[in-house]
Amino acid sequence: MSILTVDTKPFTDQKPGTSGLRKRTAAFMVENYVENFVQSIFDSLDGFKGKTLVIGGDGRYFNDVAIQKIIRIAAANGFGTVLVGQNGLLSTPGASHVIRHHNAFGGIILSASHNPGGPDGDFGIKYNVSNGGPAPEKITDAVFARTKEIDRYLTIDAPDVDLASIGTHHSGPMVVEVIDPVTDYAALMAELFDFERIRAMFANGFTMRFDAMHAVTGPYAKRILEEQLGAPEGTVINGTPLPDFGGGHPDPNLVHAKDLYDLMMSADAPDFGAASDGDGDRNLIIGKGRFVTPSDSLAILAANASYAPGYSEGIAGIARSMPTSAAADRVAEKLGVGMYETPTGWKFFGNLLDAGKVTICGEESAGTGSNHVREKDGLWAVLLWLNVLAAREQSVDAIVRDHWATYGRNYYTRHDYEEVDLEVANELMDALRESLAGLQGQMQHGHEIVLADDFTYNDPVDGSTSAKQGVRIGFADGSRIVFRLSGTGTVGATLRVYLERYEPPHGQHDLDTQAALADLITIADALAEIRSRTGRDTPSVIT
């Protein structure tokens, strides 16, 4: 089989963000756009000849086309085997597990996660390394540098592989194994959780709704929840992955999963409601009449992890992204384990997990996970919740209240201002950074500022440093405001404002979140001049 060397010209905009390269689908459909990026990944790696590459995606529009291109480029570059999920499907945590389980060299995940799909939606490509986790910045920086110089890519002249049929195929000299996307992952979940106990809970009439949002978790949730754990058929809704996610926005938050939220707040609510995002790494947890914030969910799961067989010996430590609330810190303190604060994005947890410093990680953006894979894992969080519910025989609401009564409550909200003009957003952040030096000691609405900085992370494992990871304003009573720009958006800029206030165990735990944080919301606007600079009166999304 002869290898074709195809001339190409660099694109200037292939810089990976918080989680891989994300752009409008139309940008990826431009001739050579996918080819350039994938060849740049391979050009930045060493030692993969004859090795295994995992490929999978969330099933969105253009997945099928991109996967066939990537298979040919992988073959031309000398990979020995490609493992690909049937019909090109693999959830992000599923792909992470397949990489680890099959000792693969790495993997390519095609997804723009919770962003809408389709010809007018978004697409994305991400490279994961052999531990199953997102490539660290050292690699993504090298890939970006390569994209600016690339002048050729390698491919072969071979037909498309039939990805619908499980089994062994070939692309030129390379073996292409089409695997069931769910099997390996489901086996891992059965090791970690007490399936028997959860099965008994469903058999006793426990009710649940899982909204797969027409995204990748449909087949995973149906197999595990309905077939293996005996939840009644129909527990999983929107369970068929569609290229455009049924026209929806596969983001499991209170805006885009509003139907689920409304159901859970109604008199007919089942005992438990959950949802996941486009690529299956996020989770939404709602009990009957009780939404659980992702920051609280992280803390509660960490505090209760030992109910699950996979964590019965306790956890080594907890890590959270910097903007995530400090609720988990209190759990770590009580358990006497390490607590780590990292920049936003799962790639920063990899070293801590590999070094055995932490077992559980989480982000305020509906991401929770553990050392079982190297990605956040939506269904894992749902199953751990089910395991805890089955073991404690209490409602979600009772467990949340008990947690607050023990550790106190961190009122928490995130305000997003989407599609802000890029220049305006950069000016806002620059002005905020410049004001930091004078803020310490200032009083704002009766709150004293005790910390004002731009977060720099020093990785305790490899010593690397990541600067400018978000502006933090800390107050004397432990309240906090964080400002940062999104690294996953595809149009303009998204300003994220994270607000948090602590209320002790015997304090008031039933305030409305926005009301409880009203002072901080006002201060945030005053410090960053959000309204005057962006012209926006209110955030586009409040979570």
CB atoms within 10 A of CB 486: 20
Among the residue ranges 107-115, 336-344, 353-361, 385-393, the one whose residues contact Co ion (CB under 5 A): 107-115
Which residues lie near ligand VG1 (CB under 6 A)? 18-19, 113-114, 277, 281-282, 321, 344-346, 363, 365, 367, 486-488, 496
Among ligand VG1, Co ion, none, residue 246 binds (CB under 5-8 Å by kind) = none
Among Co ion, ligand VG1, none, residue 25 binds (CB under 5-8 Å by kind) = none
Q: Quick one: 39 or 325, whose CB is closer to ligand VG1? A: 325
**C-alpha torsion angle, residues 261, 263, 264, 269 (rounded to 10):** -170
| CA–CA dist 165, 104 (Å, integer) | 21
| CA–CA dist 321, 401 (Å, integer) | 24
Nearest to 70 by CA among 98, 99, 102, 107: 107
For residue 109, list its beta bridge partners: 56, 126
> Residue of minimal CB distance from Co ion?
113
**C-alpha torsion angle, residues 122, 125, 128, 134 (rounded to 10):** -40
Among ligand VG1, Co ion, none, residue 502 binds (CB under 5-8 Å by kind) = none
Q: Quick one: 137 or 281, whose CB is closer to ligand VG1? A: 281
Q: Please provide the distance, in angstroms rounded to a whole number, between the alpha carbons at the two ends of the chain.
A: 53
> Residue of minimal CB distance from ligand VG1?
113
- Selected binder of Co ion within 113, 295, 370, 469 (CB under 5 A): 113
Among the residue ranges 105-113, 185-193, 218-226, 347-355, the one whose residues contact Co ion (CB under 5 A): 105-113
Structure tokens at 485: 């720009």
CB of 375 to Co ion, least distance (A): 9
| CA–CA dist 371, 360 (Å, integer) | 7
Among Co ion, ligand VG1, none, residue 345 binds (CB under 5-8 Å by kind) = ligand VG1
CB of 489 to ligand VG1, least distance (A): 6
CB of 96 to ligand VG1, least distance (A): 12
Q: 512 phi and psi, to 5 degrees?
A: -70, 135
| CA–CA dist 218, 59 (Å, integer) | 11
| CA–CA dist 19, 112 (Å, integer) | 9
User: Angle, to 10 degrees, between the axis of helix 378-392 and the axis of helix 396-407?
Assistant: 90
Among the residue ranges 59-67, 106-114, 146-154, 338-346, the one whose residues contact Co ion (CB under 5 A): 106-114
Among the residue ranges 80-88, 269-277, 296-304, 416-424, the one whose residues contact Co ion (CB under 5 A): 269-277
Question: Is residue 137 at the binding interface for Co ion, with CB under 5 A as the rule?
Answer: no
Among ligand VG1, Co ion, none, residue 487 binds (CB under 5-8 Å by kind) = ligand VG1
Among ligand VG1, Co ion, none, residue 363 binds (CB under 5-8 Å by kind) = ligand VG1
CB of 496 to ligand VG1, least distance (A): 6
Residues in the chain: 543
Among candidate residues 40, 44, 111, 113, the one labeled active-site is 113
Question: Is residue 279 at the binding interface for Co ion, with CB under 5 A as the rule?
Answer: yes
* CB-based contacts of 397, cutoff 8 Å, min separation 6: 287, 288, 289, 290
Q: Quick one: 137 or 279, whose CB is closer to Co ion? A: 279
Q: Quick one: 39 or 128, whose CB is closer to Co ion? A: 128
Q: Which element (helix H / strand E) includes 413?
A: strand 409-420
Tell me the three-class secondary structure of 122-156, residue by residue.
EEEEEEECCCCCECCHHHHHHHHHHHCCCCEEEEE
Q: Which element (helix H / strand E) includes 423?
A: helix 422-435
Q: Is the dihedral of CA 39, 160, 134, 482 positive or negative?
A: positive
Q: Quick one: 212 or 473, whose CB is closer to Co ion? A: 212
Q: Is 370 a catalytic residue?
A: no
Among Co ion, ligand VG1, none, residue 496 binds (CB under 5-8 Å by kind) = ligand VG1
Q: Quick one: 155 or 324, whose CB is closer to ligand VG1? A: 324
Among ligand VG1, Co ion, none, residue 472 binds (CB under 5-8 Å by kind) = none
Q: Quick one: 273 or 378, whose CB is closer to ligand VG1? A: 378
Active site positions, annotated: 113
Residues that bind Co ion (CB under 5 A): 113, 277, 279, 281-282
